[in-house]
Amino acid sequence: MNIHEFYMKRTLEIAKEGWGRTNPNPLVGAVIAKNGKIISEGFHEALGCAHAEVCAFSNAPTDISGATLYVNLEPCSHYGRTPPCVKAIIDSGIKEVVVAMVDPNPKVSGKGIQMLKDANINVIVGVLEEEAKKLNEIFIHYITKRLPFVIMKTAMTLDGKIASVTGDSKWISGEYSREYVHAIRNRVSSIMVGVNTVINDNPSLTARPISGKGIDPVRIVVDSSGRIPIESRVIQSDSEAGLILATTEKIHKDKETQLLSRGVRIIKTAPKNGKVNLRELMEELYKLEIDSVLLEGGGTLNFSALEAGIVNKVMTFISPKIIGGSSAVTPVGGKGIEKMKDAIALSDIRVERFDRDVLIEGYVADK
**Active-site pick, 53, 240, 280, 352:** 53
Domain check: are 185 and 257 in the same one?
Answer: yes
Which pLDDT value is given to residue 200? 86
Backbone region of residue 309 per phi and psi (left: phi > 0; alpha: psi in -120 to 50; beta: other values): left
Angle 275-276-278 from CA coordinates, rounded to 5°: 125
pTM of the predicted structure, to 2 decimals:
0.91
- Is the pLDDT reported for residue 367 higher than 70? no
Per residue in 11-70, pLDDT tens?
999 999 998 889 999 999 999 999 889 999 999 988 888 889 999 998 988 888 899 999
User: Where among 139, 160, 188 does a domain terminate?
Assistant: 139
| Shared-domain flag, residues 135 and 152 | no
Note the pLDDT tens digit of each residue in 259-281. 999 999 999 999 998 899 999 99
Q: What is the pLDDT of residue 68?
A: 95
Active site residue 53: yes
- Are 245 and 118 found together in one domain? no
Q: Domain range for residue 299?
A: 148-364
Check the annotation: does 85 bind a ligand.
yes
In whole angstroms, how far apart are CA 231 and each of 37, 190, 197, 201, 238?
A: 57, 21, 14, 13, 13
296 is in an annotated binding site: yes
Annotated binding residue 354: no
* C-alpha–C-alpha distance, residues 217 and 94, integer Å: 38
- Nearest-angstrom CA–CA distance, 212 and 217: 15
Tell me, yes or no, whether 109 and 220 share the same domain. Answer: no
pLDDT at 49: 85
Query: What is the rounded CA–CA span in Å between residue 100 and residue 236?
Result: 44
- Both 103 and 225 in one domain: the answer is no
What does the pLDDT read at residue 307? Answer: 94
The CATH number of the domain holding residue 216 is: 3.40.430.10
Number of domains observed in the structure of the chain:
2
Whether residue 225 is annotated as binding a ligand: the answer is no
**183 pLDDT more than 90:** no
Instruction: State the Cα–Cα distance between residues 293 and 221, nearest whole angstrom.
Output: 12
Q: Do 124 and 231 share a domain, yes or no?
A: no
Residue 69, annotated ligand binder?
no
CATH number at residue 23: 3.40.140.10
Mean pLDDT to the nearest integer, 209-220: 76
Residues 235 and 351 grouped into a single domain: yes
Q: For residue range 93-141, what is the model confidence (pLDDT) as tens digits? A: 999 999 999 999 888 888 999 999 999 999 999 999 999 999 999 999 9
| Per-residue confidence (pLDDT) for residue 80, from 0 to 100 | 60
